[in-house]
Amino acid sequence: AYFALQVIYARRKHKISPPETTGHPEFERIFRAQANCSEYFPIFISLLWVAGIFFHQGVAAVCGLLYLYTRFKYFQGYALAAQGRLGPLYASARLLWLLVGLAVAGLLAHFLLP
DSSP code for 18: T
In the annotation, is 12 catalytic?
yes
Catalytic residue among 12, 29, 32, 94: 12
Among the listed residues 66, 60, 62, 61, the one whose alpha carbon sits nearest the alpha carbon of residue 92 = 66
In the annotation, is 29 catalytic?
no
Catalytic residue among 11, 29, 71, 85: 85
| Peptide bond just before 19 cis, omega within 30 deg | yes
Distance of CA 30 to the CA centre of its chain: 14
- The set of catalytic residues is 12, 85
